[in-house]
Structures are given as C-alpha cells and as structure tokens.
Chains A and B, each alone.
Chain A
Amino acid sequence: MPDLSEKPGLLFVLATLLPLAGFTLLLTVAAIRWALRPYAAESPTADAVFKALGGEVTGRGPAYVALGSIALAFLCCVVGFVWFCIDAAHMHHLEHDIRHYEAEHAEPHHHGPGKAKKKAKDEPADEAAKEKAAKAKADAKTKHDQNVGDYNRLTKNWEGALEWARIFPSKDNVADTKHGTLLTLGFRIDMLSAVMFVMVTLIATLIHLFSIGYMSEELQETVEDHEVHTAHGHYHRRGRYGRFFMFLSLFCFSMLNLILADNLFQIFVSWELVGICSYLLIGFYFERTSASNAANKAFITNRVGDAGFIIGLLIVWTYFGTFNFQEIFSRVRCPERDADDVILINEKPAGHSIVRAKTDRVLKTGRFVKLDSNGDVALIFPRERIMGNVPGHFHGPSSTTAVHDSPRSREYGFIPYWLLVVAGLGIFLGCVGKSAQFPLQVWLPDAMEGPTPVSALIHAATMVAAGVYLVGRCYPLFTPEVLLTIAYIGGITLFVAASIAMVVTDIKKVLAYSTVSQLGYMMLALGVGGWTAGLLHLLTHAFFKALLFLGSGSVIYGCHHQQDMLKMGGLFDKMKITALTMLVGVLAIAGTPFFSGWYSKDEILVAAFGFSMTHPQHFLLFLLPLVTAGITTFYMFRMWFMTFTGEPRDEHVYKHAEETPWVMTTPLVILAIFSVGVAWGWPPHDPEHSWLGQQLHHYSQPAAVDVDFKASHELLHGTPSYHTMVGMLALAVVAIGVAFALVLYYYNVLDPNEAVEQFPGVHKFLLHKWYFDELYSALLVRPGLIFAHWCSGFDTIVINGFVHLVAKWNMFVSYVSGLFDKGIIDGSVNLLADVSYSVGNWLRNLQTGYLRSYVLFLALAAMAIWMLLYAWATAMGGP
C-alpha cells in the first residue's frame, strides 16, 4: 500500500471500494440468512445466528451500513477533491511555465541558426551581455527541468494501474511481446472525474438518507402490495429493506468505478454493472407486471446501445491495441509539435486535430509535413515522440505510467476514416442507450416503476448521466461527423421529451421526460462544442433533478403512493418544506438567473448559438433548445402548480396528506442549497465565470474542443455582446413559459382542457409519446414476435417432423429387425428344435418294445457295420 501522501489518487479508489465493501458485507449477511432460514425453526443455534443477523426481516442495519459506506466515500472524495484542486492549480502554473519556455526555445530550434548568425553579426562585442544571456539561459534550463520533474511527479500522484489480464502474442510475432495484449484496471483523476466523484457521492449519500425514510414500509414483516392483485386480494410478501440498500451499494460502487476508470474496457464493465443495478432496482417490485416489463424494457433497450458500444470497443482495440484513454487520444489527435517536424494542414499547424490523409501519401512519405484534410484515412501518431521526452502536449495532465508501451505505439499508423467514424458512432450509441436519447429514449419513463429514490439517483442524477460523461470523456476520439450526429440527436431528444412532458399527468413521468430532455441539452452542448457547458449542466442537473425527484418522492410518500397530479392540488399548506424545496428545483431547471441551472443552460445556448452562427445550415440546433427552454419552464411550473396550489382535486388524498419526516426533508433542504449555489462564481451575474465551469474548462476540457470548434469559439470570444443577447433571449422565452403556466394553472384564466380541445390531434400525439412505443412495437417487437412464432412453427413442423420421421424410420427398421429375429433367428432355432423333436418322435416308433424286433435290428446293424468296415478296408487299399 503506497503512502497516501505520495498517491492521493488512492483516496478516490478508496471511495470507490467502500460501497463495494458495504455491498459485500450485506450480500454475505443476506446469503447466511438465506441459508439459515430453513433451519431456524429446528436448531436453536441457527435461530440465534439468524436472529442476530436480522431475523425474518432486517431492521435498519443494512441502511446504516450502506449509508455509512457511501458517507465515508463522500468524505474521502471531499478531501481528495480539495487536494486535487490545489495540485491542479500548481500543475496549471507549471504547465504554463513549461509551455512558455518551450515556445521561447522551440523557435531557434527550427529557424534559429540564421537568426543566431544575424545576432552575432549585429552585436559582436557585447560579451558581458552574452555571458549574462548564457547564464540566464542556463538558469532557465535548470528551472525548466525542475518544472518538468515536478509536473511529472504530480501527474503520477493522481493515476495508477494494475495489470488485469495479459494475452500473450501469437508465436510468429514473438518480438512484439506487448502488442495489444494488456488489459489494465487503472484510475486517473482529472478535474472532471474529481467533480463527478463529489457529486455522485454527495447525492448518493443524501438519497440513502432519504431512502431510510421512504423505504420504511419495507421494514414490515408483511408488505401488502396494492398494485398486485391475486385471487386472494392484494399480494403479500416479505419486506425487502435490506435488498434495496444492497442494490444501492452495488450501484454506487459501479458508478464510481465508471468515473474512476482510465480505460474504455473498465468503463464498459462498470457500464454493464450499473445497467444490471438499474434493471434490479426498476424491477424492485417485480410482482407488478408493469415493473418487470419496465425492467426488461430498460435492459433490452440498453442492449441495443451496448451492441454499438462493443463495436466501438472492437475497432479501438483493433487499431490502437489498447483501451487506455490517454494513449488513444494522444494517438488519434495530432501532437502540437512533432519531434521531427510540424504537421501542417493547408499550411497551418494541425495540433490536436484529427489528421486525414490519402493512403498513398501515408505509405510514400512516412513523414507528414504537409497534408490535405480530406483523405480516406486518419493518421495514428506514435506515442513515443509526444509523450516521452517532450512534456508539452497537454490534453490535461499526461504521463506514461498508466500507458503501456508497445512497439506499435512508437510508429505511425492509419485507420480508415470511416471506421473511426463508426467507432465514434458506436460508442455514442452506447451513450444513447444509457442516457435515453432519441431513438432509445423509451425506457426511461417506464423505469419510473422503481422506487422514487432509485429514480432520483439512477434515472436522473447519475447513471443516465454516464452516457453524457462518456461522450465528454471520449471527446477527442469523435470526428466532426460524429459530433454533429450527437448534436442533432440531443436536439431532437430535448424537444421530443419536453413536448411529451407538457401533457403527462403522472408526477414522476413529468420528471422522467424532463430528465430525458435535459440529457438532450447536455448531448447537444457536447455536440456543438460546449464541452464545459454540457458537463456543467450534467452536474447542476444532477442536483436539481435529484432534488425534484426526491421532492416528488416526498409528495408521493406524503400522499400515500398517489402519483397522479390530477388527484393532487393545494398541498402547499400540508407540506411546506417539500413545496419550497421543489420550487427551488423548478426555478433551477427553468433557468432562473442565479440558480444553478441558469449558468449551465445559458452556456449551452451560447455554445449552440455560436455553432449555428458559424454553420447557418444547422440553425435548428439553436432554435430547438431555445424553444424548449420555454417548454421546460412551462411544464415544470405546470407540475408545481398542479401539485401544490389551487383547490384540492381529491379530498381523500388531501385529507391524508402530511409532511414527511426529517430524514426525507433534510436531503431536500441540502439538495436545494446545492441546486441554487453549486454553479456560482465571481462575478455571479456572468455564467462564463461559474467557478465549477472554470475548473472544468481549465483543467479538464480537451484541447480538441477548441480546435474542432475554433470558428465558433473565436466568434463568441470576439463579440461578448452575443452572450448578453442570448441570455436575454433565453430569459424572454422562460418568461413566456412561466406566463403560460400561470395563466393556465395558477390563475385559471384559461381552462387547460379547453386549450387541449383546440389541438386534439397534437394532444393525442403527445399523450402517446409521439407513438414511439407503438412504432417500436410495430417495427421491432411484433416482427420479432412473428419471427419467433415462425421459428417456433419451423421447430414444430420441420425439426419435430424430421425428428419424428427419424423416429418412425427407426421404428420401421426395428419392426423389420424384429420380424427377422422372429422369423429367421427364432425360426431357425425353432426349426432345429422341431426337427429334433420330430426325429425323436419318429425314432420313438422304433422303440417298439418288441424284443424280437430288437434282435432283428441287432442283426441288421451288425451286418451293416461289418459291410461298412469291409468297404472301408477295401477302399483303404487292402483286401
């Protein structure tokens, strides 16, 4: 175990492993209880152990274990985060110094000799100045070396790896011992993962706390499930309190491991782990058909995305021989400065861009001085030159420790450009599945069948954001085509989901569609070059959406599992804390100034504006999020008004509604505070200066972002007034949304039903969720079923028929064989017996019992024998 001060990154590893320890403990105890349960009645010892471990239904023990482990993990993360911020600032300075030195000294390296001669001619006599200059140069060199050393040391503090599996190379490739043969488990902390760690552990801790209250029904010996009807009334089962927290712990471990990972494969493993946790928790009430169907739907839909993910992984593995992010990115993106030469595209340096070339050029020149940008292959750059001696090419901190060295990684290579696009699209398809984006968005609303804390943690704040996180993480791998796809998918998703959210009445479904819509915002932001904006929105959204979900959970709990907003109303008096905290959430998501959502959403809109200004043909990418900002505001306020204001629509619900206990309201308050202030910075009125956004922007944003979206970034930097303009525009749209909501649902000036009647077609269309489920049913599910039936029929008729035919043929052969046995085999034996019998019977007649005939036979026999002997003797040659 290395010293923590030498390797503070291990704090995050510890934070990852704590929930795993909790899960393991709970699983072990559960397994022992399961094993002991049948014997508890018989053996007193077993009974004692069984009772000690929680008995028939566990108490709050599992909750405390899970909460303790995640809270400890949170503490580790906070310590690690502060530590990392200090180190990151230090490294930023070092990096700046190194760059500065290199910029000074790199110039003479190329064009130096001429200049130096010139200088020597101009000032031949000034030896003192020359000496001084030499001394300064030497000092600078020393300082530089020290800086480089410090930089590398600090970098190594935050990353590490251990070998997981090594696949040995084939025999005929002995020299290439490390070629594509190493899978590592590694971690690498950068600002993005550090922030994500803090966010996930904080929200998870609060949701664990909330769950202690929300899931308290599961503590009962017998739980009555009102939604499952059996022949004997409602379904009764044992409480599942322990199981819930066990799954939550497993999920926390998986999610943290996903953030921790420094390679694609580890992410894929965690990806599947969070998927299975999601499956288990959506199907927590698996007795309900709707819940088990929803779990299956979520899992199968994610499989579609994961198929793409695997294709991406395969392509990456095949062409790069590694899954490590740093190595992939440094090889797919052009180095800022090559040791040999500067790579130029159209006469301009090509640092941090994906370089395309013609295949014949790659083969002929080998050294890429000048290339056009529209070739059919993308270059793969050697790792050695950019990461070995020259520490100058930063996609954030870089180092060699976590990157394994293989001969191939020291050479130029190339990948067919279309395959690079396919790899990016494949990985993005995985993200589409996980983040419920446009073609695969159908599972997330159904996933609301799970308990509300699960919806908050997994299906709003963390897991669904993993897709966005991965897109952000893999950013340098994506080609412009992929990024454009991402932007459009995000744009479509955010609009479609928001439009549906306007009409649904289930409080959790509103939030679910809102989640899908907000994830669409993030994707759009990433696609249009707003890397920081997208990931900042991921963080702010995690807080306010967790808050909203927990608030809805509080409402549902307070209303005794009533989820339909049509039966709520006027609850403000009954549950003030919930109502106020939820209002904070609503304001945050709507983008009210100085609430966290405002900062991120404004950034997104600005990025989208910049992109559509430079690419006017993609103006939709700005229009859609702008309009949707209004829609978002409308449906969120609609939800809040329908729930908390006006006259109670259902007396029964209203009468029994009550404020929830402190374990549930405390997380709401904490989350509300974060929802307001998490994105603050100085000055607070400028979204650009959000502290969190600045951290991400400076320490984590890949250099590729600025290169790929150079034009739009330059445009936005060049005209600061665009920011103000877009902000005003967004505010105006939000105000319109609020106004509509107030008119329709607060002041009741207009009857919403009348408004609906104006557009019955649209309303029906939205109510059916744009008919996506029906479309998939018609396109995929039903053909699948028909195909399955056809296969079944094929089995029944052809396969079974064939088998039966064979069986019949066998029976026939057996029958013939039987006949043969009976006729020939038995027959011959019987014939022998019959012949023996009849001969005996015939011979019997000779035994007349007449003495005299015996004498005659005797005589005749004697004669016969004598004559035979005589004949034989004669034949033998003697008379």
Chain B
Amino acid sequence: MNELDPLLGYLCLAALLFTCGVVCMATKRNAIGVLIGVELVLNGANVNFVAFSRYHPNFQVEGMIFALFVIVMAAGEAAIALAIVLNFYNNHSTVDVDSADELKG
C-alpha cells in the first residue's frame, strides 16, 4: 500500500464524481438532470474537502466545516433551482433547457 497513497484514491474518486457531474450537466436536456449534475459536482468537491481534512494537518476542522457548508448550500441551491425549474415549466410548458435560449447572442 505504500506505493499508493490513500489520499490519491479519494482525490481520484472526487475527480470522477466531478467529471460525472460536468458530463451530466452537458448531456442532460432535462432541467432536473442538470440539477442532478450540479449535485454530483458538489459531492465531488465535498469528497475533496473531507479527504483533505483527513490527510492534511491544516485542514482537520476546516475541511469538515466547509463540507457542511457546501451541503447546506446545496440544499438551498436545490430549492431555488427547483423553483426556477417549476417556473420555467409553467412558462414554457417544458423542462428542456435547450429551449431556454432567449438570451443567446
């Protein structure tokens, strides 16, 4: 196990979650799907925080506290995003983000 630092595994996991979130946001046409991608990205970040709180001496408390904040923020974000989605759905009768292109150049 000496060759493989345990931190690297967590970081790779976090990277995977992050990448999955980004790809999810890029591929899902459903607004809820985009929201799911965002949650994945945030989770990836959280994994990073907590991993560093475990393996980095200066982040023992901060990592966890930041992770907590992120979780709470994500909850609020989800609530707002859902409200927006619902509003968009009410206005456009669809949840396809591709149809929300009024602001294109």
Interface on A for B, CB 8 Å cutoff? 843-853, 855-856, 858-859
5 additional A-B residue pairs with CB within 8 Å, beyond A850-B97, A852-B29, A852-B97: A848-B104, A851-B97, A851-B100, A852-B27, A859-B26
Chain B residue numbers with a CB within 8 Å of A849 are 100-105
Q: Most A CB atoms within 10 A — which of B26, B28, B29, B98?
A: B26
- Closest beta carbon of chain B to A61's beta carbon, Å: 100
CB under 8 Å from chain A, chain B span 53-105: 97-98, 100-105
> What's the A-B contact tally at a CB cutoff of 8 Å?
41
Asked whether A847 lies within 8 Å of B105 as measured between CB atoms, the reply is yes
CB distance from B89 to the nearest CB of A (A): 15
Q: How far is the CB of A34 from chain B (nearest CB, A)?
A: 84
Look across to chain A and name the residue whose beta carbon is closest to the beta carbon of B27: A852
Q: Is residue B34 within 8 Å, beta carbon to beta carbon, of the partner chain?
A: yes
**Interface flag for B11 (CB, 8 Å):** no
**Which B residues lie within 8 Å of A847 (CB)?**
103-105
Number of interface residues of B (CB under 8 A): 16
For A853, the chain B residues whose CB sits under 8 A away are: 26
Q: Is B25 an interface residue (CB 8 A)?
A: yes
Q: A859 contacts which chain B residues (CB < 8 A)?
A: 22, 26
Asked whether A855 lies within 8 Å of B26 as measured between CB atoms, the reply is yes
Q: Provide the bound-state CA to CA distance between A853 and B105, in Å.
A: 14
Contacts of B29 in A (CB 8 A): 852
CA A849 to CA B101, docked complex, whole Å:
4
Contacts of A846 in B (CB 8 A): 105
Interface residues of chain B, those whose CB is within 8 Å of chain A, are 22, 25-29, 34, 37, 97-98, 100-105
Cβ of B104 to closest chain A Cβ, rounded Å: 3
Q: What are 27 of the A-B contact pairs (CB < 8 Å)?
A: A843-B105, A844-B105, A846-B105, A847-B105, A848-B104, A848-B105, A849-B102, A849-B104, A849-B105, A850-B97, A850-B98, A850-B104, A851-B34, A851-B98, A851-B100, A852-B25, A852-B26, A852-B27, A852-B29, A852-B34, A852-B97, A852-B98, A855-B22, A855-B25, A855-B26, A855-B37, A856-B26
Give complex CA distance A492, B28 in Å: 133
Most buried by B among A844, A855, A859: A855
Residues of A within 8 A of B102 (CB): 849
Among B28, B29, B34, B98, find the residue whose CB has the most chain A CB atoms closer than 10 A.
Answer: B98
- From A843, A844, A850, A858, give the contact of B101 (CB < 8 A): A850
Distance between Cα atoms of A640 and B49 in the complex (Å): 149
Complex alpha-carbon distance, A856 and B103, angstroms: 18
Question: Chain A contacts of B22 at CB under 8 A?
Answer: 855, 858-859
| Bound Cα distance A852, B28 (Å) | 8
In the assembled complex, how far is the CB of residue A654 from the closest CB belonging to chain B, in whole angstroms? 117
Q: Which residues of B contact A850 (CB under 8 A)?
A: 97-98, 101, 104
Q: How far is the CB of B43 from chain A (nearest CB, A)?
A: 17
CA distance A702 to B37 in the complex (A): 140
**Shortest distance between the CB of A717 and any CB in chain B (Å):** 133
Query: Closest residue of chain B to A840, judged by CB?
Result: B105
Q: Complex formed: what's the CA distance from A798 to B34 in Å? A: 89
Kindly list chain A residues whose C-beta atoms are within 8 Å of the C-beta of B103: 847, 849
Interface centre among A844, A848, A849 (most CB of B within 10 A): A849
Tell me the nearest residue of chain B to A858, going by C-beta.
B22
Is A845 touching B105 in the complex (CB atoms < 8 A)? yes
| A848 and chain B: residue at smallest CB distance | B104
In the assembly, what is the distance between CA of A855 and CA of B20, in Å? Answer: 12
Q: In the complex, which residue of chain A has the Cβ closest to the Cβ of B29? A: A852
Give chain A nearest CB distance to B99 CB in angstroms: 9
Q: How far is the CA of A853 from the CA of B103 in the complex (A)?
A: 14
Interchain CA distance A848-B98 in the complex, whole Å: 9
For B26, the chain A residues whose CB sits under 8 A away are 852-853, 855-856, 859
User: What is the CB-to-nearest-CB distance from A849 to chain B, in angstroms, rounded to a whole number?
Assistant: 3
Q: Which of A852, A853, A858, A859 has the most CB of B within 10 A?
A: A852
For A851, what are the chain B residues with a Cβ–Cβ distance below 8 Å?
34, 97-98, 100
10 closest cross-chain pairs (CB), A and B: A849-B104, A849-B101, A847-B105, A844-B105, A855-B25, A851-B97, A855-B26, A856-B26, A852-B26, A859-B22
